[in-house]
Structure 1
Amino acid sequence: MTSQTPSPAAQRAEFQAFLSNMPVKLGSFVAADLPRSITVGEGEEKEFRKDFSPASLPWVEAYTLAKLPAPAAVAAPENQPFSEGVIRYVGETLLRTVGGTWDTDPEGGTGDGMPFIRPDSPAGEAAGQPISLISLLMTAAQQRRGDVFVTALAGALSEFGEEGAPFRSSTGIDLSAGGEKPTQVEQDHLDAFLSGVEPAIAAWIQEQGGGMEVWQYGREALDRLAADLRERYDSAGDMDDPDEQAYLAGAVRYAGEVIRRAGLGTWRFGAEASAEDPHAGQPYVRFAGTDGAEGFDVVPRQELRRTLDDASALVDAYDRATAARPAV
């Protein structure tokens, strides 16, 4: 953290990036940072609960306390990715139960400069008392009771009274765009894939040279990638060369992530698609339909191949994703 307070415009941009990155960041946190199982009692293995249910909050808080031994550890540079993951998880879990939306306060008065949630209340959508996730995390790390997260949820639910109930469960981010949730087979592939998206992109960018100044997450960079592909390959068949797979794996993740961020799509994996299906064995990005329009998928590897015949294939996919971007 710097001593300089970002401008309201910069804070709003950071907030949009926070929302845009939610599927990858939160998916990676659940897959890579939270354990699959824990040992209890006399060596009994139990599946770690991380399904965004209210019952998962004590599990996540207990594990958080084990990782963060004191409040000062929350902001320690080496722990910041984990702390942000906890904030994302707890916020999304609360929203799925009580409804509401993510928000930010450019003045820093609410949320302590971090994204926070505005839960629903009987007064209306997002009309409840704002909940600062960083404050919850700091309180949990200080009090070390193990029930801070679930108590915050109970407080938001209590607004509806004994016989009342939230009128929706919602969030600004749909982690399963397109309606159906991944099967367990697909989820297993996604768990492995999502945790490696950002490291793979960083390594790929370093290999290409120019850094993030050249390879920004935008339309212009996709034009650059298209030019590189057309110079590197004479035909789509050249992409099947085993020596090209490392380069293409990075390009698939980079192009897919640029396009996904443009439309707030969701990474999926064609783990069970038939062999003739372009999705088969491939990561792809799903975009939910908005305003009555049908949803659609973008398979990055297919778009890379199409680029050799159509130089605008990648930017066309980017433009389509941008047009489908839901309001947040």
Structure 2
Amino acid sequence: MDESDRSPTRAQLLDAWLDDLQVLVGRLEQDGLPDGFPFDYSPESLSALERFVLDEGADPWFRRAATGYAGEILMDVCGGRWDVDPDSGEPVVRPDPALALEPLHVGVLIDVALAEQSGEVFAREREALADAVAALRRTDPEYRPVKERSPLDPIGPQPEDPWLTRWLDDRQSAFPAWAAETGAPGGAGAWDFGPGSLDLLDRVLRARYPTEAAFDADPDAPFRAGAVWYLGEVVRRHRDSVWLYWAVEPGAPRGSHHHPDNPWSGIPFTHQPHKRRARAVDPADVLRNALHFGPGYPLRRALDGFH
């Protein structure tokens, strides 16, 4: 049999689902739901999702994306992990084994909601899971459902990196000279790390680098390193973020933070590792884009898109 004729294995289907999950749910938030939708993984948003499904229906793409979002909310109650049904190939939630519950077919739950038209199917399922957890805790008060990490969970605290520590110390030490070298009106006091100071950085950046190519041709310049650090510091201070650095490791598993193909490896960037709806910012890329797109792409955009 030709290799291309083989059906994907259950493990391959699960890997594909987990690989797609962030993109699916991200697109659901951006394009699939109306403005003002409470996209916060709360029980209220689960009910709102069902109301939207009843109003608008669920085509195959939406059904799959909504499966991801609703499944994550339900696992906040029952723990567990994602799996794939061996017969249908559809993603399912397997609650924490301690609960001894059957796999939850979230896509089928959407079908039931459409058939029933009560607007209560999702909430009812969540309540049933909560009841199962409460029943187990009556015999084991210390019990808490355990959820395996999914691509939609916060990445959590990251280990300190020696390279990043040195880089941040160097940038902090070099900042007074960097600020003076920019020749900005108001001197060093103009660089107060406030959001408004990004307009000043914007002007200084464009005066220094007339084109994106000029910026890319100057990778090791002290001015560029200082601009990257300053922009990242404004984001860190005003958008509940931290600096991260994932060193490139040639032997790291594909999909890991340190794999060479990960665009976030090998660069200093800001992140919100404690948030599910985190936003990461590559300050160097923001500076590059400002030059690429011109004055219509102000550096203040780096502060947009946070939740």
The alignment's TM-score, normalised by the length of structure 2, stands at 0.48
The alignment's TM-score, normalised by the length of structure 1, stands at 0.45
Larger radius of gyration: 2
